[in-house]
Amino acid sequence: MISKAIPFKVKLVAYNPQGELVVAIAAKMSRSRHGWEHHLDMPPQEIETWIRDSIIHGYWSVLEHSSYTFSIEGISRVASHQFVRHRIASYTQMSHRFAKPKDEYYKPVVPPSFKDVHGYETTYQEYLRLLNQGVPEEDARYVLPNGVNTNLVVTMNARELYNFFGLRLCTRAQWEIRAVAWLMLDEVKRVHPILFRYAGPNCIIHENFVRPEEDPVSLDQEKVFVSSRCIEGVPREGIWKCIRNSRTILEKIK
């Protein structure tokens, strides 16, 4: 029942296909006297310009007009507890008060650093024993491990996603939520590559606030940083290596 293969799934389940256009029109309308319909036939190149300029100059609020809903299934309660600390987002979580993680639904997450897995099976037997004693589900779950699996429906707008990615793609983020974040980034870049072109860990975000505007940096191409360190203290020379390391988590959990 318990294996080291990582069981979690990250899937973008709802979003507005026109999200990039919506963000670009909103950005333009703050400087225009025309209404929405006037801007509906904005050419792709102009969409790109409005979005790029908004991000490079920190005009984040327009990014709030496009939202994304993910189903994140099989992550541990260690990760879900970290996730819900992001307050500008909407969450619905599988409740262990009502849905028992039993039988094939008990799939606790095993960190890649574990050589073997002992505690999860005995813990599970104790959980069953308590249920059989008549202990309510909401109490019996106290003995389940922190690594126990749960499901989470998460909705975030593009601005909050930039913030979430800034913190959670960073190599200092805990491995599981970091893996989830890289998978979420892949999902949104697939559907809205223009809007998420400059998303990345905070080193990327902050660098784009302080470097020449005509030459922004993204995860797509390594460029020399102006920043002398990232916000976590990694010196200029080590930043790209640090970013590459961060993403290797996806290989470790396959």
Catalytic residues: 168
Stretch that binds a copy of itself, among 42-50, 86-94, 188-196, 243-251 (CB under 8 A): 86-94
The DSSP bridge pattern shows strands 149-157 and 90-93 to be antiparallel
Say if CB 179 and CB 250 are below 8 A apart.
Answer: yes
Piece of the chain touching a copy of itself by CB under 8 A; list 64-72, 178-186, 191-199, 242-250: 64-72
14 sits near a copy of itself (criterion: CB under 8 A): yes
**245 is an interface residue for a copy of itself by CB under 8 A:** no
For residue 47, give Cα distances in angstroms to 24, 26, 101. Answer: 5, 11, 46
**Which of 146, 188, 147 is CA-nearest to residue 164?**
188
Q: Which one of 157, 181, 182, 198 is in contact with a copy of itself (CB under 8 A)?
A: 157
Q: Decide if residue 18 touches a copy of itself (CB under 8 A).
A: yes
Radius of gyration (Cα) for the chain, nearest Å? 21
Tracing tokens 């707008």 back to the chain, one arrives at 157
* Residue from 48, 49, 145, 189 binding a copy of itself (CB under 8 A): 145
> Is residue 132 part of an annotated ligand binding site?
no
Taking CA 21 as the corner, what is the angle to CA 16 and CA 27, rounded to the nearest 5 degrees? 120
Asked if 65 interacts with a copy of itself (CB under 8 A), we say yes
Q: Helices 202-210 & 44-56, crossing angle to 10 degrees?
A: 90
Report if residue 121 touches a copy of itself, rule: CB under 8 A: no
Please tell me whether residue 232 binds a copy of itself under the rule CB under 8 A.
Answer: yes
Q: Known binder of ligand: residue 197?
A: no
Q: Return phi, psi of residue 20, to 5°.
A: -65, -40
Q: Residue 146, class by beta-carbon neighbours within 10 Å (0-12 exposed, 13-18 middle, 19+ buried)?
A: exposed
Q: Any idea which residue has 């509906």 for tokens? A: 40
Q: Which of 5, 43, 45, 87 touches a copy of itself by CB under 8 A?
A: 87
| 198 within 8 A of 52, measured Cβ to Cβ | yes
Examine residue 252 and tell whether it contacts a copy of itself (CB under 8 A).
Answer: no
Selected from 2, 42, 131, 153, the binder of a copy of itself by CB under 8 A is 153
Q: 1 among the known binding-site residues?
A: no
Q: Find the part of the chain contacting a copy of itself (CB under 8 A) among 41-49, 60-68, 192-200, 245-253.
A: 60-68
Q: Nearer Cβ to a copy of itself, position 157 or 246?
A: 157
Q: Give the footprint of a copy of itself on residues 175-214 (CB under 8 A).
A: 175, 202, 206-207, 209-213
Min. distance of Cβ 108 from a copy of itself in angstroms?
7
Nearest to 71, CA basis, from 190, 189, 152, 156? 152
Closest CA to 64 of 29, 26, 14: 26
Binding-site residues for FAD, in ranges, read 61, 85-87, 93, 157-159, 163
Binding-site residues for dUMP, in ranges, read 82-85, 93-97, 141, 168
